[in-house]
Amino acid sequence: MKTNVQGGQAASVMRRVADTVRQAVPAGADWRVLLPLLIGLLALYGPTTQDLLQTVWSRDEQGHGPIIFAVVLWLVFMKREAFAALPAQPRPGWASVWLLLSAVLYVIGRSQAVLMFEVGSLIPLLAGLILLFKGGCGVRLLWFPLFFLIFMVPLPATLVIAVTTPLKSAVSAVASNLLYAFGYPIGRSGVVLTVGPYQLLVADACAGLNSMFTLEALGLLYMNIMNYQAAARNIALALLIVPISFVANIVRVCILVLVTYHFGDEAGQGFVHGFAGMVLFLVALVLILTVDHLFNFVHRRVGKGGVA
C-alpha cells in the first residue's frame, strides 16, 4: 500500500512539472527545432558556466553573474507569448553576420581562455537566432534582455584595476573624513583605514568597478520595469546611478569600519561583511527610488506651471 501511495505521489509531482513546462513554453512551439537548439546551447555553454562558477562567479567582485542570468531568463519568460505571436520574418543575411561573429568570439575565447569573449559570444548568438526565426521585430521585442546580458560578461582585469584603484582611494578618503568628523579615531593610508587598534583594507568588492557595474544593472532593470518613455529621464537616471553607487559604497565601508571598531575584527569580517553587501544594494535601491520620486515631483510641478 505504501508503495502505491508513493508511486501516486511521484506521478502527481511529474504531472505538475510537466504542466509547469507546458506553461513556460509558448503555444505552438516546435520542439523539433527547440530541442536541438537547447542541446546545442548546453553543449557550448555548459563548460563555460562550469568555468565561471569555479572562477569569477565564486568571488565577491563578480558574483553577480548568476543573478544577471536569472533576471534575463525571467525577462524572456515574461515576453514569451508576445515573442511567439510575432510573425516569422527571418533575416538570414543579418543572422549569418551575428552568428559568424559569435562563432569567432567563442572560438577565440574558448581556445585562449578569454572569458570575456567566450561569455560575450552568447549575445550575438542569441541575436542571430532571433533574426533567423523572427527577424528584426523579435530583436526589438527582446532588445533589453540581450543588452542586459552585457552585465554578465566578466570585465577584463586591466580595466578593473585601472578604474578600481582611484575609486577605492576616493571611497576610502570620503569614508575616513566622514567618520573623523563624527569623532572616530580613524586614519587613512591609501586604501588602508586605521580605526582604533584595527586596520581595514578597502578591497575591490567594497568599492570597485564591479559593484558600480552591478548597481548600474540594477538601475537599468528598474527603469525597464517602470517602462518610462521619456528618453531624457532615462538617460538622466542612468547617469545618476554612478554617483548613487559611489555613495552606496561609502555607506558600506562606513558600516564595516563601525562594526569592526565597536565589535572587533571577527565581527567585521564575519556575517556582517556579507550583510554589508546587501546593505549596499538596499541603499542604492532607496537612492534610486528617491531620485525617481524627485523626478516625478519636478515633472508634476513643471506640468502644473506649464498649464498655468
Model confidence over 218-230: pLDDT tens digits?
888 888 888 887 7
In a domain, 100, yes or no: yes
Alpha helices in 55-141 (DSSP H): 65-78, 80-85, 92-112, 115-120, 122-133, 136-141
Rounded-to-integer distance, Cα 268 and Cα 190, Å: 20
| Whether residues 184 and 298 fall in one domain | yes
Q: Is residue 1 part of a domain?
A: no
Based on the fold, state whether residues 173 and 286 are members of the same structural domain: yes
Flag whether 75 is in a domain: yes
- As a whole-number percent, the residues of the chain with pLDDT over 90 amount to 26
**Residue 137 known to be catalytic:** no
Task: Calculate the average pLDDT of the chain.
Answer: 81
pLDDT band at 216 (very low <50, low <70, confident <90, very high): confident
Take residue 237 and report the three cell numbers written for it. 537616471
Contact of 51 with 115, CB cutoff 8 Å: yes
94 and 208 in a single domain? The answer is no
Are 142 and 172 members of one domain? no
Q: Are 279 and 247 in contact (CB under 8 A)?
A: no
pLDDT digit string, tens, across residues 9-20: 545 544 554 454
Q: Does 112 reside within a domain?
A: yes
In a domain, 184, yes or no: yes
123 — pLDDT class (breaks 50, 70, 90): very high
Same domain, 191 and 162: yes
Confidence category of residue 127, pLDDT binned at 50, 70, 90:
very high
Q: Which of 91, 188, 252, 254 is catalytic?
A: 252
Looking at the structure, tell me whether residues 89 and 205 fall in a common domain.
no
State pLDDT tens for residues 33-80: 678 888 888 999 999 999 988 888 877 667 778 888 889 999 999 998
Q: Which of the listed residues 152, 174, 205 is the one where a domain comes to its end? A: 152
Do 173 and 270 fall within a single domain? yes
- Asked if residue 18 is part of any domain, the answer here is yes
The three cell numbers locating residue 194: 586605521
**Does 210 fall in a domain?**
yes
- Are residue 215 and residue 112 in the same domain, yes or no? no
Three cell numbers at 251? 555607506
pLDDT digits (tens, 9 = 90+) for 81-116: 899 889 988 899 999 999 999 999 999 999 998 999
253 pLDDT higher than 70: yes
pLDDT on residue 29: 53
Query: Do residue 142 and residue 234 come from a single domain?
Result: no
Cell digits of residue 49 = 558556466
Rounded to two decimals, the pTM is 0.74
Instruction: Give me the catalytic one of 91, 188, 206, 254.
Output: 206
Indicate if 284 and 161 belong to the same structural domain. yes
| 144 and 53 assigned to the same domain | yes
Task: Tell whether 2 is covered by a domain.
Answer: no
- Examine the domain organization and report whether 145 and 22 are in the same domain: yes
Q: What is the pLDDT of residue 273?
A: 61
Number of domains in the chain: 2
300 is catalytic: no
pLDDT digits (tens, 9 = 90+) for 263-303: 877 665 665 666 666 777 788 888 888 988 888 888 777 76
Q: Take residue 144 and report the three cell numbers written for it.
A: 533589453
d(CA 43, CA 272): 39
Q: What is the pLDDT of residue 142?
A: 94
What residues make up the domain containing 266?
Answer: 157-307
Question: What is the structure's pLDDT at 164?
Answer: 74
Q: 130, 152, 174: which is the final residue of a domain?
A: 152
Q: Which helix (H) or strand (E) holds 195?
A: strand 192-195
Express as a percent the part of the chain with pLDDT over 70.
80
